[in-house]
Structure 1
Amino acid sequence: MAEHQRIHPVVGVEAPPTAPLVPHGSSISEKGSPVWRPPLLKHSVPVIQFHSRPAKSSSCCKCICWTISLLVLLLVIVGATAGILYLVFQPKLPSYSVDSLKISSLGLNIDMSLYAEFDVKITTYNPNKKIGIYYEKGGQLSVWYANTKLCDGELPKFYQGHQNKTVLHLALTGQTQYGSTLMTAIQEQQQTGRIPLDLKVDAPVAIKLGKLKLKKVRILGECLLVVDSLSANNSISIKASDCRFRLKL
């Protein structure tokens, strides 16, 4: 009889022990029992943010610094050049003197305005040794009495060389309103033998340094005169004269 096959029961493989569930914040002790531990606190670390300046702002600052530096350098160069030119050329203002004053006409018109015609002789002197003066077109000489202009005329256009004296003969004419009041004041002043007049000069000039002709500037002058009379066709004596001039850039 055939041997009967014996069927042996398969021994079941034990499943590995599962780890016990441990609550959050606890651990297992050596005996296998869970031990509670406080949860770890996450400390927040402050974050420091550094804001860098934009590149555009930095470039603007550099541009401003360069501009200021260039301006300072330019001022230094201009100042040094002006100082050198002053030492080399030693510029001086020209001087003027009123040599004579003649009244061709002074009287009232039909409309009671005052008409005046003066002939003035002026000497101008350029004291500079290395500077020439171009008197340009548009210069004017005027005669005033009591802040009222009596007459005026144009200065001629000419060139005055180094240390040169030039005599100018100028014809001045003018007409003033309210002539009767002004004529009365002049006649009363004439009785004292001292009549104040104010001669004003406004002359556009160009300075010549060597062969270089600079841009136009203006010579402004004022001569305070005291004359003995303002009678027409009579010799007039200038008793006092005080002339002052300045340069206007």
Structure 2
Amino acid sequence: MAERIHPETTPRSEQEPSHPPAPAAAGTYVIQVPKDQIYRVPPPENADRIKGLSRRRRKSRSTTTCCCFRFCCCSLLLLVLLLAIAAGVFYLVFRPESPNYSVDGVSIAGLNLTSPSSVVSPRFDVSVTADNPNDKIGIYYERGSSVEVSYKDVALCDGEWPQFYQPSNNVTVFKTLLKGSSIELTSSMRKDLVAAQTSGKTVPFKVNLRVPVKIKVGSVKTWTIKVKVRCDLTVDKLTSQSKIVSKDCDYSVKLW
């Protein structure tokens, strides 16, 4: 006969729990991984692969940068080449020549050195010759010019260059009046001018011209170009009958 076991003698671990476990939330999973199975980032077997990919990316970026740099250099060289070709064609077609400028006469007044005062108001009538030797190029002399006469770096008088158009193969001679008002001479300047006037020595002056011009080529007019002319000249006397004994003129052109 089978022995009957009383329920109270049954082990507690084999009995059903008094409270059933709460069901897990839908869509939620809990995964437990042993500590000795956790990989490093990146795993050791993938480290070489990661390094190889990094090298490929750096190489790809450097190759792209190099290609862009080469493209920019080639574009710049092509632009320079095209500009050189255009300049060569322009020179062969129009044969441009530099205009010539010179100061041919000076009439001086207002330098009264017999007065005890060191303040003077000089006037210079300056005769200037502008020569345009080009066959197919005209010159527009624009507004905003200046002409200045100085002695020992002290400005004595100033004025303006006339505004006009000079056609090709043209020589234009004009006079411009330069005025100075209440110019105070230093004692050394006054002494030198008086000595030159009484002893018949020559007197050096500087004439500076700044003229904005535009070049006309056919029916095309360029942008404004700045022309600067500097003349070192020497006169024999400080009167209206003064004559130029020597002169040396040069000029520079600023394209923009």
Normalising by structure 2, what TM-score? 0.71
Q: Aligned residue pairs: how many?
A: 203
Q: 2:89 aligns with which of 58, 79, 84?
A: 84
Q: 1:52 aligns with which of 56, 62, 86?
A: 56
Change (3 A) 1:56 1:115: same
In the alignment, the residues of structure 2 paired with residue 61 and residue 173 of structure 1 have an alpha-carbon distance, to the nearest angstrom, of 63
Change (3 A) 1:47 1:101: closer
> Which stretch shifts more, 216-225 or 152-161?
216-225
Alpha-carbon offset, residue 73 of structure 1: 0.6
In the alignment, the residues of structure 2 paired with residue 47 and residue 184 of structure 1 have an alpha-carbon distance, to the nearest angstrom, of 92
Larger radius of gyration: 1
Q: 1:204 aligns with which of 195, 212, 215?
A: 212
Alpha-carbon offset, residue 95 of structure 1: 1.1
Partner of 1:16 in structure 2? none
3-state SS of 2:189 partner: helix
> Which stretch shifts more, 178-187 or 217-226?
178-187
In the alignment, the residues of structure 2 paired with residue 120 and residue 179 of structure 1 have an alpha-carbon distance, to the nearest angstrom, of 24
Partner of 1:5 in structure 2? none
Change (3 A) 1:83 1:180: same
Partner of 1:13 in structure 2? none
Partner of 1:128 in structure 2? 134
CA RMSD of aligned residues (A): 2.4
Q: Could you report, residue by residue, the CA deviation over 1:17-53 in whole angstroms, capped at 9, with x for unpaired residues?
A: xxxxxxxxxxxxxxxxxxxxxxxxxxx9x95853213
Alpha-carbon offset, residue 219 of structure 1: 1.4
Alpha-carbon offset, residue 57 of structure 1: 4.3
Q: How does 1:84-163 map to 2 (within 5 A)?
A: 84-107=89-112, 112-163=118-169
The 8 Å contact of residues 118 and 190 in structure 2, kept in 1 or not, is answered as no
In the alignment, the residues of structure 2 paired with residue 182 and residue 97 of structure 1 have an alpha-carbon distance, to the nearest angstrom, of 26
The 8 Å contact of residues 147 and 210 in structure 2, kept in 1 or not, is answered as yes
Which residues of structure 2 form unaligned runs of 5+?
1-44
Partner of 2:34 in structure 1? none
3-state SS of 1:236 partner: coil
Structure 1 counterpart of 2:232, one-letter code: L
Structure 1 counterpart of 2:233, one-letter code: L
Q: Could you report, residue by residue, the CA deviation over 1:120-169 in whole angstroms, capped at 9, with x for unpaired residues?
A: 11121101111111111111111121222211111111110001111211
* Structure 1 runs (4+) greater than 6 angstroms displaced: 108-111
Alpha-carbon offset, residue 56 of structure 1: 4.5
3-state SS of 1:186 partner: helix
Alpha-carbon offset, residue 71 of structure 1: 0.9
The 8 Å contact of residues 135 and 158 in structure 1, kept in 2 or not, is answered as yes
Q: 1:240 aligns with which of 234, 246, 253?
A: 246
Higher helix proportion, which one?
2
Which residues of structure 1 form unaligned runs of 5+?
1-43
In the alignment, the residues of structure 2 paired with residue 177 and residue 60 of structure 1 have an alpha-carbon distance, to the nearest angstrom, of 65
Alpha-carbon offset, residue 107 of structure 1: 3.6
Alpha-carbon offset, residue 80 of structure 1: 1.1
> Which stretch shifts more, 152-161 or 215-224?
215-224
Percent identity over the alignment is 35
The 8 Å contact of residues 140 and 166 in structure 2, kept in 1 or not, is answered as yes
3-state SS of 2:125 partner: strand
Partner of 1:195 in structure 2? 203
Alpha-carbon offset, residue 64 of structure 1: 2.1
